[in-house]
Amino acid sequence: MRRKVCLLGFILCAALQAQATDATKLFDSLRNKILLVKDYSAEVKMKINVRFMRIPELSGTLYFKSPDKMRLERHGGLSILPKKNNSLMLRNLIPPGHATVIDAGITTIAGKSVRLIKIVPDDENSDIVLTKIWIDEQQLLAVRTETATRTQGTLVMDLEYGRYISYGLPDHVTLTMDVKDFKMPKGVTMDYMESSEVKPSEDAKGKKGTIQIRYLSYEINKGISDDLFKER
């Protein structure tokens, strides 16, 4: 009897180890695909929904250069997106470096079967505490992420894909976050807030804000100068 129990335990451990290995390979493959994009410029329309502000839809050109440079050049004005807004990029919601990957099984999003994995960074100083990723395994795409951070609260990103699937770049992104942790892009605040003194109030705690971005077109890996991202 004891021998059977030991054998069963060995089989179970082997199965769990194999499952963890597969989840790690899936995560590494997804991350490597995302990192293939070194830079892009994209024509975008951006809508910011926050209860205590009225902000019209923004349109312009969004520039990105690996690993963390970003700039939004608005039509009719110029806005720099500082580092605290890099959560707009999928790659910055996925832990870099070594991490522990946990397979959380199969679930569904919008009627489609996806695999859920959980990632815990090995770096104790990482701003990211835990990331959950819902992955379309067939096309190797992240369709949703939920990232718990030390400085920005919990960020949920829903992604829809179309013409740029091969690069893992979405056509539409919805980023949802806690209002109390909401950081306005520089240049937007001064233009559109009703008062420079307006701040999230106590009753905003627990409320959600969203940023919706539609990517109308991309130019990918064409090379972008660092000078474009310098403060002006």
Residue 99 maps to a domain: yes
- Encoding tokens for residue 38? 């070194």
Lowest pLDDT segment from 3-17, 39-53, 113-127, 144-158:
3-17
Residue 18 has a pLDDT of 44
Give burial (CB, 10 Å; 0-12/13-18/19+) of 15. Answer: exposed
Q: Is residue 212 part of a domain?
A: yes
Query: Domain limits at 171?
Result: 19-222
Would residue 115 count as lying in a domain? Answer: yes
5 domain residue, yes or no: no
What's the number of domains the chain is made of?
A: 1
Q: Residue 197 domain-assigned?
A: yes
Q: What is the DSSP string of 71-102?
A: EEEETTS-B---GGGGGGSGGGGS--SSEEEE
Contact status, residue 177 vs residue 152, Cβ threshold 8 Å:
yes
Residue 198 — very low, low, confident or very high, per pLDDT cuts 50/70/90?
very low
113-149 pLDDT, tens digit each: 999 999 999 988 888 899 999 999 999 999 999 999 8
User: What CATH number corresponds to the domain at position 106?
Assistant: 2.50.20
In a domain, 207, yes or no: yes
Calpha distance 129→135 (Å, rounded): 19
Do residues 200 and 206 make contact, with C-beta atoms less than 8 angstroms apart? no
How confident is the model over 208-212, as a mean pLDDT?
Answer: 88
pLDDT tens string 152-194: 888 999 999 999 999 999 999 999 987 665 555 555 544 444 4
- What's the confidence (pLDDT) of residue 184? 55
Whether 136 maps to a domain, the answer reads yes
Half-sphere exposure (Cβ direction) of 204: Cα atoms closer than 13 Å: 16
Please check whether residue 2 lies inside any domain of the structure. Answer: no
